[in-house]
Amino acid sequence: MAEPLLAIRNASKIYPGGIEALRGAELSIEKGEFVCLIGASGCGKSTLLRMIGGFELPSAGQVLVHGRPVTGPGPDRGMVFQDYGLFPWLTVRGNIGFGPVARGMPKPEVIRLADRFVSMMGLDRFAEAYPHQLSGGMKQRVAIARVLANEAELALMDEPFGALDAMTRERLQEELLVIWRQTVLTVIFVTHGIEEAILLADRIVVMSPRPGRIVAEEHIRLNRPRNVASPEFNAIRRRLTGLLHPEQLKGAA
């Protein structure tokens, strides 16, 4: 069998003081998949994401990309954070082009690449604006474009829409799916929202309270765009709610 794009093998993380954030995580992700991680606060979702990004190293086990151990950050894995993480001294175009510049790409190519993603994100009128001049939704578009311009294979998204209002969040969810289809990007998306996960994912990975363990996976075979009011959607929602909050189902019985 071909090697998966990402393989997590019995990965655990213990922080100083004996705080066990993650225990024995096992997960394989193929190129082009859209995978959501869900679980309670503090269950190790973000720890797992940072380990994939190379910002944290496992205390035990391995994180492998194309069969090679992850030993640090790399341009093949781009992070998108809830707080955007943009450079305030750079314009929209400058933020998007930062990675290619750091890799030594010639300036004309950087400009061409940055302009391509500026247009893809609908930010043409704001190409020379600075982050403080943008709305939250625009900042998150820039953050996503920066990952794409760096030619990342894996987009690692840590609750990227959590700080946005409901209408902006819905619009960006739709836009993210369009970009994912166009670019064949592989997305690992951390969220607290069961509905958001069902709307977006090919597969949902459910994590237990700390120490975080992968306790279930749910393949979502609904056609897109997905209807949150459909019986099939709500059956999946009930199943995932039962895994995350079994006390709610007992109370409703």
Q: Is the pLDDT of residue 249 over 60?
A: no
Q: How confident is the model at residue 6 (pLDDT cuts 50, 70, 90)?
A: very high
**Shared-domain flag, residues 235 and 186:** yes
| pTM of the predicted structure, to 2 decimals | 0.91
Scan for tokens 């190790």, then name that residue: 44
**Shared-domain flag, residues 144 and 189:** no
In a domain, 81, yes or no: no
Q: How confident is the model at residue 199 (pLDDT cuts 50, 70, 90)?
A: very high
**Shared-domain flag, residues 124 and 11:** no
Q: How many structural domains does the chain have?
A: 2
**Shared-domain flag, residues 65 and 124:** no
Mean pLDDT of the chain: 90
How many C-beta neighbours within 10 Å does residue 139 have?
21
Q: For residue 81, what pLDDT is reported?
A: 83
53-102 pLDDT, tens digit each: 999 999 999 999 999 999 999 889 999 988 878 999 999 999 999 988 88
- 154-158, 180-184, 217-221, 227-231: least confident range: 180-184
Q: For residue 148, what pLDDT is reported?
A: 87
Q: For residue 32, what pLDDT is reported?
A: 94
Domain boundary among 136, 151, 166: 151
Q: How confident is the model at residue 246 (pLDDT cuts 50, 70, 90)?
A: low
CB distance 149 to 114 below 8 Å:
yes
User: What CATH number does the domain containing 27 carry?
Assistant: 3.40.50.300
Scan for tokens 């939704």, then name that residue: 137
Q: Which two tokens stand for residue 164?
A: 């946005």
- Phi and psi angles of residue 92, each rounded to the nearest 5 degrees, phi first: -55, -50
> Residue 225 gets which letter from DSSP?
S
Q: For residue 85, what pLDDT is reported?
A: 83
**Shared-domain flag, residues 58 and 94:** no
**Shared-domain flag, residues 130 and 183:** no
**Shared-domain flag, residues 54 and 135:** no
**Shared-domain flag, residues 126 and 111:** yes
**Shared-domain flag, residues 140 and 194:** no
Q: How confident is the model at residue 253 (pLDDT cuts 50, 70, 90)?
A: very low
Q: 166: domain range?
A: 6-76+154-252
How many C-beta neighbours within 10 Å does residue 55 have?
16
Q: Is the pLDDT of residue 151 over 60?
A: yes
**Shared-domain flag, residues 94 and 23:** no
Q: How confident is the model at residue 247 (pLDDT cuts 50, 70, 90)?
A: low
Q: How confident is the model at residue 248 (pLDDT cuts 50, 70, 90)?
A: low
Q: For residue 231, what pLDDT is reported?
A: 96
In a domain, 133, yes or no: yes
**Backbone CA torsion sign across 115, 117, 120, 122:** negative
**Shared-domain flag, residues 158 and 232:** yes
